[in-house]
Amino acid sequence: MKGFKILEIYLNFSCNQKCIHCFNGEDFRQANKDLKFSKVASDIFKMRKKGCNWLSLLGGEPTVYPEILKVVSLGKKTGYRRIMTFSNGLKYSDAGFVSDMKSAGLTDTCISVHGDNGELHEAVTGVPGSFNKVMAAIDNLKREKINVMIILVLNALNYRHFPRIVRFFIAKGIRNYMFFALKYQGRMNEGGDSNLAVRLSEAFSKIDEVRKIFAAKRIKFPSILHVPPCILPKYISHLDNYSTRPSTMLTQDGEAAGMEKAHKDLVFKPSCRECVCYAGCSGFDPGYAKIFGDQEFKPLKKV
């Protein structure tokens, strides 16, 4: 990340999957349409002049944005050194589309996975065959020498298999990862499958075993998102939302804001002020606390 200043653009909230844990709810999707290309282009130029040199494209699903190739191409032409999508991978199962994205300037993509087999993955995506498409996508992206990062969102169905899932994707040649906790927003609050809900301490109960796998393979240990420091005090240096990277986020209302806006709905309890990590902590998810309470969140006296 050194030497990079990131512009994150949420292009749309349209999607070709139906993930039951998506933090973009149906009402939110209806109220927020695709950004106009003219607005996207304007901010790509503006933020490049302000020093941004890494362009991250998100949604919804950015690959279904009608002018995604134009956006990627513009990013390349204006001098962004890295251009990344955060994707479910479905469109990347089309080798021709991957080739076009590579030619336009795509350098990296983050692919969300939910398991090492169709049963686990598709229990979340709601799309039969989506696991096989993700596997094809990974092959296509690697063939075009586009860097692939795996995002694994831990939930009640997959956390027990955490080490096995990591071994599976390492065997596929993937060396870059991010680990996410669930966000109790959007579809999780709109009748999403409550069977996905899991305590943070349980979700990450196998993290030490996973760390040993990375050490044995001499792979850099990943960032962990949506987890307060008090849950994983030994992993504070890996908590992405504890030490926020220099980024600007372009929201659907056209507002360019600091990344702290992404954490605006998180909360603290009074005792959090006693924690040595309080100044840099983003807080915890109030939706999570409605289910599990806030007893897990205890102030740290030292790290």
Query: What are 67-95's pLDDT values in tens digits?
Result: 999 999 999 999 999 999 999 999 999 99
Say if 48 falls within a structural domain: yes
The domain of 161 spans 6-263
Say if 56 falls within a structural domain: yes
Say if 77 falls within a structural domain: yes
- Which CATH number belongs to the domain containing residue 203 in this structure? 3.20.20.70
Say if 272 falls within a structural domain: no
Query: What are 23-45's pLDDT values in tens digits?
Result: 776 666 666 678 999 999 999 99
Say if 294 falls within a structural domain: no
Percent of the chain with pLDDT over 90: 74
Say if 298 falls within a structural domain: no
Query: What are 123-144's pLDDT values in tens digits?
Result: 999 999 999 999 999 999 999 9
Please tell me the total count of domains within the chain. 1
For residue 279, with 0-12 CB atoms within 10 Å meaning exposed, 13-18 middle and 19 or more buried, which class applies? exposed
Say if 228 falls within a structural domain: yes
Say if 284 falls within a structural domain: no
133/169 Cα distance (integer angstroms): 15
